[in-house]
Chains A and B, each alone.
Chain A
Amino acid sequence: MPEQGALTTPSQTVGPFYALPDGLLWPDGPEVVAPGAPGAILLRGTVFDGAGEPVPDAVLEIWQADERGRFAHHADPRGAAGSFQGFGRCGTDPRGGFWFRTVKPGPLPTPDGRTEAPHLDVTVLARGMLQRLVTRVYFPDEAAANAADPVLSTVEEERRGTLVAVAEPDGLRFDVRLQGDGETVFFEL
């Protein structure tokens, strides 16, 4: 298909009022898997702005493969797999906090024969953001796979940690820093 065609509709901010009753936020939005599901992980974090203040009006979305590294999607050339939803959405609370209950995805093959470490893709939306930000969450118990990951390994070592969740007694923590000290690595897609 040639490059020509229609140009895209521009992005605009989600604004502060996406959280209307029965609006963007679904009650079960953060629950990618049910509470008792095997392998369920609680992933929590806080979004901070450039002044280090929590961002109470952000919404995060995650998208990921299932435990075997498969997607319920027609573009997966290995064949659409299962019914795993793979999607979660959570608005931040007044203290900037968000959470998801999900499972660790499997590793993924790349078209050029390498292997991606288990990861989640993340969209961050908020008032003040004219386009969404995109980042990734990697897992702290995958040191060898993370070191070989074709995306993570291109990030300078001192910033790589911003993409790896931190193990806590009851789950994982992944904080998002939009700007300044410890700024999260964000991606152009």
Chain B
Amino acid sequence: MSMLLPHYPPDTASHPPLDSAEYRSSALRYPKQPLRLLPQYLTEVTGPLLGHDRVGEHDHDLTAGHAGEPMGERIVVSGRVLDSGGKPVPHTLLELWQANSAGRYLHSGDRHPAPLDPNFTGVGRAMTDADGHYRFVTIKPGAYPWRNHDNAWRPAHLHFSLFGQAFTQRLITQMYFPGDPLFGQDPIFNSVRDPAARDRMISRFDLASTVPEWALSYKFDIVLRGAHATPFEDDEEDDD
């Protein structure tokens, strides 16, 4: 039997090590045995094509759906989901979750003594279009303290979840804001060792996408692993 499957080469240099000592929560949660190589067979090159039945018309707008306007700086976050081959990833689900403008999550475990916002839940969903474009409307989240180290504060960030088209493409990441003074002391941001890779998590202020007299705008393109040509072919094809 001959089957032609896509192959998704890893980009190991861009991603943080699981055992990042400065991020204390990692200490008991990374495997100590070496990872085994999983070949990319059928289960790995396929993946859940989720979305259309999960995304409501207004789910991309985190400022809507409540009785009033949320507090804070209204922003548009938009961009494209691409693969590392430069191709757009169409019709894929993005999930977004975040703190409110005071730096507080609507979660029972969040003990930061900042106010909850009755008009902000902090969750959104969107699909990319046929060209990989997506767009959210939300509120710029606040920084918040946590207990990783003395006087630790997280830089403002949005959490993003993406599925892509295959199990190999699943990505959870965080979008940061340009020029944040808290970058230098944040062990989660700095767990990515390559400065150029860290830069790929920072959105760009984008004047062209602002909505006059209504919202500022940030551009954030997200790059997933790309599918390369088929690694498995019949020997008979080597006939030149």
Whether B37 is near chain A, meaning CB under 8 Å from some CB there, is yes
Report chain B residues within 8 Å CB of A121. Answer: 43-44, 167
Question: What 0/1 pattern do residues 12 to 36 of B give for CB contact below 8 A with A?
Answer: 0111111010010111111111011
Decide if A76 touches B46 in the complex (CB within 8 Å): yes
Whether the Cβ atoms of A57 and B49 lie closer than 8 Å is no
Chain B residues lying within 8 Å of A11, measured Cβ to Cβ, are 15-16, 171-173
Residue A185 at the B interface, CB < 8 A?
yes
CA gap between A110 and B39 in the complex, in Å: 10
Counting CB contacts under 8 A, is B10 at the interface?
yes
Q: How many residues of B contact A (CB 8 A)?
A: 89
Bound complex: CA A183 to CA B29 (Å):
11
Chain A residues with CB under 8 Å of B192's CB are 10, 12
Our pick among A1, A23, A116 for the contact of B229 (Cβ within 8 Å) is: A1
Chain A residues whose CB sits within 8 angstroms of the CB of B172 once the complex forms: 11-14, 125, 132
Q: B161: which A residues are within 8 A, CB to CB? A: 14, 24
A144 within 8 A of B: no
With CB as the reference atom, state the residue of chain B lying closest to A178: B29
Would you give the shortest CB distance from B182 to chain A, in whole angstroms? 15
Q: Mark B32-62, 1 if CB is under 8 A from A, else 0.
A: 1101111111111111111000100000000
**Interface-centre pick from B23, B49, B201 (highest chain A CB count, 10 A):** B49
Per-residue B-contact encoding for A10-27, CB less than 8 Å = 1, 0 else: 111111111111111010
Chain B hits for A128, CB < 8 A: 23, 25-30
Given A19-B107, A65-B43, A87-B48: A9 touches B173 (CB 8 Å cut-off): yes
Contact B197 A85 (CB under 8 A): no
Question: Which residues of B sit under 8 angstroms from A37, Cβ to Cβ?
Answer: none
CA distance A153 to B1 in the complex (A): 21
Chain B CB within 8 A of A34 CB: no
Partner among B10, B35, B121, B223 whose Cβ is within 8 Å of the Cβ of A9 = B223
Chain A 24-65 per-residue mask, 1 if CB under 8 angstroms from chain B, else 0:
101000000000000000000000011101010100010111
